[in-house]
Structure 1
């Protein structure tokens, strides 16, 4: 518990301390629209895939889109393991700039999630490691070389039922996540960002749910002294494919 408290202290204090020394902080508003699919293979193993489109609202402009696939294994009641791959296609991080090219990022990820139920609230402690490969670019074109970075993420999330009847339910989610970069090319922005999230998810049945959430992201840019302060509204359609599984 002391480790978790330390991480949260860093997560909450780091953005405010960094902001005091920031040369420039850009406030942005975005929408993330996501489709999340779960395909059970066995009782303990499933394939999770998602398609996520992210756009700026003022002015309206494409930010990026994501395709992610991962395998998830429920080792036991309290431990969930995951590993997968994601492709990011980044159009721009500034809605006022419209380049003639998009920057690709290829990302591998692995995580372990510890799950505990306390007083009808489910807590998820997720520890995730990412290996990120970016294609470099100038202001006018993509270059023929790449950069590599590691990133560590810790997220504490709580979910709870607000209403439930037969297969229908309304759930609430509260989470906070802190992200750190490390590696020889990440000396100026070890602290990457903090994400605080609130959401409501309505399940039409056990296989289909719709979630609307608000995410507050405070992110250090690669310069090490500039920041993004982002208000993000996320809409997610969750779809679990109903099929018989075997052990």
Structure 2
């Protein structure tokens, strides 16, 4: 709760400021295709894989590709600790017509808290990132720190708990704050608000279709801009523990 309050206060202090890192020509619309997988390997350990294909102006203009890999430690049923690496390739839209792919390398540490309030599933995600961002073709990477907080709420529509062949709705908000010597014009980086309709195809597979409003600062125009995105997400979370595999086989046979 203390960390959450600090993040919200930081955002309020940065609404009227701008950041100079990793921003090209501002977008107004985008399409994101997301694939994520959180695999449970043992009672304590798991893996994370995430790939994103982001297009600007619908599917007409390449914008960004993301690959994230991580290792997860399940401390308790409600607490997960993770660490990993991410690679981003961003198209410099200011370089049209010869657009350049600018790489960004990240290392991250993450804390995830799950909470159940009657039918409502709450998830608090705190992520700390160390980023090496290339701002122009041939330029040396710039190092910057960033902290992110996401509150995600899921509500099942088909019953008191989410089961296979059940629909659900999702609402989420994520706040991004930069800090360190290379953050020149305030700590507020961006905010993402998200709403979606989901369908739990089976215990390990879910599909989401949603909308995201992204408020981000842009150095090229010196002010904030909104990007409206349609997102299609596929979540595959297999459980490879022996007992879970037996239970999944029995469920498949019952169908």
Shorter-chain TM range is 0.7 to 0.9
Mapped to 2, the partners of 1:3 and 1:59 lie a distance apart of 38
Contact 2:67–2:86, Cα closer than 8 Å, also in 1:
yes
Deviation, 1:190, is 1.4
Contact 2:30–2:59, Cα closer than 8 Å, also in 1:
no
**2:183 equivalent to 1:161:** no
Q: 2:132 — aligned with what? A: 133
Mapped to 2, the partners of 1:34 and 1:59 lie a distance apart of 14
Q: 1:82 — aligned with what? A: 82
Mapped to 2, the partners of 1:209 and 1:58 lie a distance apart of 23
Deviation, 1:106, is 0.3
2:157 counterpart SS class:
strand
* Pair 1:38–1:26, CA change in 2 (3 A): closer
Q: Deviations over 1:76-118 (max 9, x none)?
A: 1221111111000111356x93434210000111111222111
Q: 2:34 — aligned with what? A: 34
Q: 1:45 — aligned with what? A: 45
Contact 1:11–1:177, Cα closer than 8 Å, also in 2:
no
TM-score, with normalisation over the residues of structure 2?
A: 0.81
Q: 2:103 — aligned with what? A: 104
Q: 1:193 — aligned with what? A: 190
**2:55 equivalent to 1:55:** yes
Q: 2:138 — aligned with what? A: 142
1:157 counterpart SS class:
strand
Contact 1:171–1:202, Cα closer than 8 Å, also in 2:
yes
Mapped to 2, the partners of 1:154 and 1:127 lie a distance apart of 5
Q: 2:202 — aligned with what? A: 205
2:96 counterpart SS class:
coil
Mapped to 2, the partners of 1:206 and 1:192 lie a distance apart of 36
Contact 1:80–1:113, Cα closer than 8 Å, also in 2:
yes
Deviation, 1:215, is 0.8
Contact 2:10–2:177, Cα closer than 8 Å, also in 1:
no
* Pair 1:125–1:142, CA change in 2 (3 A): same
Mapped to 2, the partners of 1:211 and 1:36 lie a distance apart of 11
TM-score, with normalisation over the residues of structure 1?
A: 0.84
Q: 2:228 aligns with which of 225, 231, 235?
A: 231
Contact 1:40–1:241, Cα closer than 8 Å, also in 2:
yes
2:75 counterpart SS class:
strand
Contact 2:31–2:58, Cα closer than 8 Å, also in 1:
no
Contact 2:38–2:238, Cα closer than 8 Å, also in 1:
yes
Q: 2:174 — aligned with what? A: 177
Alpha-carbon RMSD: 2.8
In structure 1, stretches of 5+ residues that fail to align are 20-24
Mapped to 2, the partners of 1:59 and 1:65 lie a distance apart of 13
Q: Deviations over 1:152-182 (max 9, x none)?
A: 1111111121115852211211111111111
Deviation, 1:234, is 0.8
Contact 2:34–2:233, Cα closer than 8 Å, also in 1:
yes
Contact 1:189–1:221, Cα closer than 8 Å, also in 2:
no
Q: 1:214 — aligned with what? A: 211
Deviation, 1:240, is 2.6
Deviation, 1:224, is 8.7
